[in-house]
Amino acid sequence: MRVLLVEDNPNARDVYSRLLELDGHDVVAADSAPAATAAIDARAFDVALIDIELGSVDGFAVLAHLRNQQPGARAVMMTAYDVPDIARRNQADGFLAKPLAWSDVRAAIAPRPSERRAS
For residues 28 and 54, the answer to whether their CB atoms sit within 8 Å is no
Residue range 40-67, pLDDT digits in tens: 999 999 999 999 989 888 899 999 999 9
Specify if 39 maps to a domain. Answer: yes
In a domain, 28, yes or no: yes
What is the predicted pLDDT for the residue at 50? 96
Q: Helix, strand, coil proportions of the chain in percent (round to 5)?
A: 45, 20, 35
Report the predicted TM-score, pTM, of the whole model to 2 decimal places. Answer: 0.83
Range(s) of the domain holding residue 55: 2-109
Q: Which residues contact 53 (CB under 8 A, 6 or more apart)?
A: 8, 59, 79, 80, 81
pLDDT tens-place string over residues 76-104: 999 877 655 565 566 777 778 778 888 88
| Structural domains in the chain (count) | 1
Identify whether the C-beta of residue 48 lies closer than 8 Å to the C-beta of residue 26.
no
**Is residue 59 within 8 Å of residue 77, measured between CB atoms?**
yes
- Provide the residue type at 115 as one letter: E
CATH assignment of the domain containing 53: 3.40.50.2300
